[in-house]
């Protein structure tokens, strides 16, 4: 796991191109035709991996963004290993193990070095509900090419880190904390990230008379089970109805509002089971009309490590 260095960041990809991922899945055996109105099978519905798109980096490397769609109504846990792996193995480690209901965009990314970028395909394999699905990650069609340029009204991927004035990351590759937080079973701890929105707005546009608020949503990314998030005394949690439609699609929505896009976000987390956890904090600036999670702009990930004993 690495830390993304600060860099100018923004991302864009056509939503229609994302749907083409469906054509890339490989199924282990022939599958019956989908009938949306029929009851879900007893074993559940398989989780679908997605390649969201790829970025060409200045050093010649390629960063590939991945997401997923869990069509079940409940969380699905697929531990890393033979049922949840990336090939080549060197790219594994950051994929989620906890799959929340709904369509989740850009939940992790891998970077293929410059020397491998033109001829290496990294496959993400998922086996769930007795079915294997896999999706490739590579420098491919220009329809999947993303960029980090400002959007028409100035939106950029925001910055996120773990301390005021400390190192920050952006985009789906984000930043991973070096520190490991310690907690006891059923003994809540405070999780904290620091944020900054570098978007450059037109001061003469009445929509931007003051900086726009941003949001931090919290997810268990890896671990033996779920956690319970509650509001920290310093800031309330947003309710689902207060979130834009694109954010509500990515359930569950445990989110803070960051006033004017700069400052901390905090929640309390309670872990009912011991083990190693990775918590994903997703920072987005989707209040702007040129920024939306469905077109790969503009959000950034940060992962906090928690050891629960």
Instruction: For the chain, give the mean pLDDT.
Output: 86
Residues 133 and 181 both lie in one domain? no
- Judgement on whether residues 117 and 195 belong to the same structural domain of the protein: no
247 within some domain = yes
Among 101, 119, 146, give the residue marking a domain's end.
Answer: 146
Residues 86 and 64 placed together within one structural domain of the fold:
yes
CB 264 within 8 A of CB 122: no
Q: What is the DSSP string of 159-202?
A: EEESSTTS-EE-TTT-EEEEEEEEE-TT--EEEEEEEE------
The model's pLDDT over 181-232, given as tens digits with 9 standing for 90+, comes to 999 999 999 999 999 999 999 989 998 989 999 999 999 999 999 999 999 9
pLDDT at 293: 78
Q: How many domains does the chain have?
A: 2
Contact criterion met (CB below 8 Å) for 51 and 24? yes
Which of 88, 117, 146 corresponds to the end of one domain?
146
What number is the average pLDDT over the span 83-89?
97
294/309 Cα distance (integer angstroms): 38
140: DSSP letter: -
Question: Which range of residues forms the domain containing residue 298?
Answer: 159-308
Q: Higher-confidence residue: 246 or 260?
A: 260
Whether residues 234 and 111 share a domain: the answer is no
Q: How confident is the model at residue 125 (pLDDT cuts 50, 70, 90)?
A: very high
Q: Is residue 257 part of a domain?
A: yes
Q: How far apart are CA 103 and CA 30, in angstroms?
A: 24
Q: Per residue in 171-186, pLDDT tens?
A: 999 999 999 999 999 9
Kindly state the tokens that stand for 76: 């699905």
In a domain, 7, yes or no: no
Asked if 132 and 27 count as a contact pair (C-beta separation under 8 A), the reply is: yes
Sorted by sequence, the CB contacts under 8 Å of residue 141 that are 6+ apart come out as 17
Closest CA to 215 of 150, 147, 293, 290: 293
Please give the pLDDT value at position 107. Answer: 96
Is residue 38 in some structural domain?
yes
Region 106-132: mean pLDDT is 94
Same domain, 259 and 298: yes
- Rounded to whole angstroms, the Cα distance separating 21 from 113 reads 23
> In terms of domains, do 118 and 174 share one?
no
User: What's the maximum distance between 2 C-alpha atoms anywhere in the chain?
Assistant: 58
Q: Specify the pLDDT at position 254.
A: 85
Query: Is 1 a domain residue?
Result: no
Looking at 84, 114, 146, the residue that finishes a domain is 146
Is 104 part of any domain?
A: yes
pLDDT in tens, 257-302: 999 999 999 999 999 999 999 999 999 998 898 998 777 889 999 9
Residue 5 in any domain: the answer is no
299 neighbors 283 (Cβ within 8 angstroms): yes
Give the CATH number of the domain where residue 269 resides. 2.60.40.10
Same domain? For 213 and 279 the reply is yes
Residues 84, 49 share a domain: yes
Task: Please tell me the predicted confidence (pLDDT) of residue 198.
Answer: 97
**Do 121 and 187 lie in a common domain?**
no
Q: Do both 133 and 226 map to the same domain?
A: no
Same-domain check for residues 107 and 228: no
For the segment 101-130, the average pLDDT, to the nearest whole number, is 93
Same domain assignment for residues 163 and 289: yes
Domain-embedded: residue 219? yes
pTM of the prediction?
0.85
* Phi, psi (deg, nearest 5) at residue 18: -65, -35
pLDDT at residue 168 is higher than 90: yes
- The pair of structure tokens assigned to 191 is 């999780």
């Amino acid at each position: 796991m690495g830390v993304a260095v600060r860099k100018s960041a923004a991302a864009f990809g056509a939503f229609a191109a994302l749907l083409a991922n469906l054509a890339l899945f490989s199924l282990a055996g022939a599958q019956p035709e989908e009938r949306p109105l029929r009851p879900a099978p007893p074993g559940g519905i398989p989780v679908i991996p997605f390649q969201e798109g790829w970025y060409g980096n200045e050093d010649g490397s390629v960063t590939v963004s991945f997401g997923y769609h869990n069509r079940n109504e409940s969380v699905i846990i697929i531990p890393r290993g033979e049922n949840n792996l990336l090939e080549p193995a060197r790219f594994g480690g950051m994929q989620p193990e906890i799959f929340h209901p709904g369509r989740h965009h850009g939940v992790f990314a891998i970077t293929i070095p410059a020397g491998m970028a033109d001829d290496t395909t990294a496959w993400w394999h998922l086996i769930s509900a007795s079915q294997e699905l896999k999706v490739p990650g590579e420098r491919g069609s220009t329809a999947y090419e993303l960029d980090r340029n400002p959007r028409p009204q100035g939106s950029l991927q925001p910055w996120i880190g773990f301390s005021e004035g400390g190192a920050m990351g952006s985009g789906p590759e984000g930043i991973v904390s070096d520190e490991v937080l310690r907690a006891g079973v059923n003994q809540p701890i405070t999780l904290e990230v620091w944020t900054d929105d570098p978007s450059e707005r037109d001061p003469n546009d009445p929509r931007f008379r003051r900086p726009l608020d941003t949001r931090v949503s919290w997810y268990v990314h890896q671990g033996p089970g779920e956690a319970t998030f509650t509001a920290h005394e310093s800031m309330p949690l947003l309710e689902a109805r207060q979130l834009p439609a694109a954010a509500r699609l990515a359930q569950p929505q445990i989110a803070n509002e960051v006033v004017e896009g700069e400052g901390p976000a905090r929640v309390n987390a309670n872990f009912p089971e011991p083990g190693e956890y990775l918590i994903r904090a997703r920072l987005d600036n989707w209040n702007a009309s040129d920024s939306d999670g469905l077109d790969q702009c503009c959000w950034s990930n940060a992962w906090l490590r928690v050891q629960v004993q």
